[in-house]
Amino acid sequence: MYRVLIQTGSIECDDYQHTDHGIELHEDGEFVAFVPYETLTAVVDESRKSAEDRAIL
């Protein structure tokens, strides 16, 4: 599970893909949202157990 942080909040998804202008978010294989790089703050891998293991992608 990933949490995508944007300027106005966050969106959860189980997969994402980079495109030329942003990232496409998917949940159960279905398209959820497109986030332009200009509004993207971070992608957080929620499956990590501790704060030390977490990585911002």
Its domain, for residue 31, covers 2-45
The more confidently predicted of residues 50 and 3 is: 3
pLDDT of residue 56: 56
Q: Is residue 16 part of a domain?
A: yes
Residue 39: how many CB atoms within 10 A of its CB? 12
Q: Is residue 54 part of a domain?
A: no
d(CA 41, CA 55): 13
Q: Is residue 56 part of a domain?
A: no
pLDDT of residue 47: 82
pTM: 0.79
Residues with Cβ within 8 Å of 18's Cβ and at least 6 positions away in sequence, in order, are: none
In the chain, the number of structural domains is 1
Residues 12-50 pLDDT 10s: 999 999 999 999 999 999 999 999 999 999 999 888 766
pLDDT of residue 52: 62
Q: Is residue 14 part of a domain?
A: yes
